[in-house]
Amino acid sequence: MDARRSTLTIDCDYVLPRFAAAYLRVENDEAAFIETNTTHAAPRLLQALDEAGLRPEQVRWVIVTHVHLDHAGGASALMKALPGATLLAHPRAARHLIDPSKLVASATQVYGAETFERLYGAIEPIPEARVRVMDDGTAVDLGGVPLQFFHTRGHANHHFVVADPAASSVFTGDTFGLAYPRLQRAGRLAFPSTSPTDYDGAEARRSVERVIALGVERAYLTHFGEVNDLRAVGDQLLRWIDLSDQLVAGAAALPPEQREGWIRRHLGERMDEEASRVGLTLDADDRSLLELDLQLNAQGLAFVAGKRAAG
């Protein structure tokens, strides 16, 4: 890669090390941050910028793939520190960055004020003039090369991926699954995020295929890091999506109070099968790492099952 072109993975140390990443993309004398994680991560991102020999005014773009708080919660803090940057967001996400009050209220209700503060910190409004909406298929310039934006529903209705053809890469947020480094020690082990409340299996399948069809060499996952075997990752994700469809159908026939637990058990069994497929025996630390995602995935699929049962 050219010395003036780089992509730096920043460990935001959210919940656990190597659990959530942000990226610093540099081209010539301009830079972009892709993902912001939480307010607590902003100093890490700014430190990475300084260590790259860049000044805050050289950051042209701050990009969030979607507005879930482990991706976009730090946007307001980062924008305060980057006077020349414009925030790029999905059309359905932009309003929540300009006025985050509903987002904050909802998350505070779920977590409680103390846990919300510990996880995410203060989230403030971002001036509308500093936010730019990116429609499907549009692009911006970074140091003379394009960054292209493609809407990818399935995980969330306000999600896009960012293609970087000059570096043969794509930043995928949660569209292209989760691949925690600890779980890759025997072979590739990736799985999708089906968390509440927007999960849509058909759209998730289309989005995975859309990422593969870009024809790039590498994908940068927010959870976590670079992968360069996109077809293999995609095949794993599509198997999981097929299973998710089956679990939604099965759970829809169950009483509401049984759905989430039933799905969670089946997801755990499939994780053991997928790990075994690549030669990995999950230990206690692996299971601890996976617990949050498997629980959220079960909640998301149970939510979809409930909607299906209600007709």
Distance CA 10, CA 138 (A): 26
241 contacts: CB under 8 Å, gap ≥ 6 = 192, 201, 204, 205, 208
Residue 4: band (very low, low, confident or very high) from pLDDT cuts 50, 70, 90 = confident
Q: What average pLDDT does this structure show over 149-159? A: 98
* 198, 229, 260 - which closes a domain: 229
Domain that holds residue 26: 5-229
Q: What is the pLDDT of residue 96?
A: 97
Q: Is the pLDDT of residue 1 over 90?
A: no
Going by their DSSP bridges, the two strands 225-227 and 218-221 should be labelled as antiparallel
Q: What average pLDDT does this structure show over 105-110? A: 91
Same domain, 219 and 306: no
Query: pLDDT above 70 covers what percent of the chain?
Result: 99
Same domain, 14 and 45: yes
Q: Is the pLDDT of residue 221 over 90?
A: yes
* 208, 229, 250 - which closes a domain: 229
The lowest-confidence range among 106-110, 237-241, 249-253 is: 106-110
Q: Is the pLDDT of residue 6 over 50?
A: yes
CATH number of the domain bearing residue 99 = 3.60.15.10
Whether the Cβ atoms of residue 221 and residue 175 lie closer than 8 Å to each other = no
Same domain, 253 and 176: no
Residue 311: band (very low, low, confident or very high) from pLDDT cuts 50, 70, 90 = confident
Query: pLDDT above 90 covers what percent of the chain?
Result: 97
Same domain, 91 and 177: yes
Q: What is the pLDDT of residue 115?
A: 93
* 212, 229, 246 - which closes a domain: 229
Same domain, 216 and 244: no
Average pLDDT over all residues of the chain:
96
Same domain, 221 and 247: no
Q: Is the pLDDT of residue 47 over 80?
A: yes
Q: What average pLDDT does this structure show over 234-262? A: 98
Distance CA 55, CA 161 (A): 26
Number of separate domains in the chain: 2
